[in-house]
Amino acid sequence: MNDFLVSWQPRILSLLRFITGFLFLWHGSQKLLGFPASQNPGGSLSPLMIVGGILELGGGILILIGLFTRWTAFILSGMMAVAYFMAHGTNAFLPIVNKGELAVIYCFVFFYLFFAGGGSVSVDSLLKKGE
């Protein structure tokens, strides 16, 4: 059983990366493009929100396809840590109270991807094979 699980580990890592990138890019799309429509439309965006939207959309796409995975994940992990402390951490200490669970999860999934890489099904993996 252990050999089976170990053999699937790189593919499941790719699946985690793909799903995380897919979910993350929509945060940026919602901010920058207004799609999908938000339940809380906020009007014009601050410069910080525009930068966040660009990182979410562009970084989400890079994570989704597995291109420059480690460095993109490092940047996005830091961005989510900053987002947590700026938007949630000032309201209460516990993420369950300050509604910051998603920011914390994204932060640590991206931190894991920084160390683990994109997995076997990624553009990074294809480029490595072509060397």
Domains identified in the chain, total number: 1
Query: Model pTM?
Result: 0.93
CB 113 within 8 A of CB 58: no
Can you give the pLDDT at residue 42?
67
Q: Range of 65's domain?
A: 2-130
- State which amino acid sits at residue 119: G
Instruction: Walk along the chain (131 residues) and give the pLDDT tens digit of each residue.
Output: 899 999 999 999 999 999 999 999 999 999 999 989 877 766 788 999 999 999 999 999 999 999 999 999 999 999 999 999 999 999 998 999 999 999 999 999 999 999 999 999 999 999 988 77
What DSSP line would sit under 96-111, residue for residue? HHHT-HHHHHHHHHHH
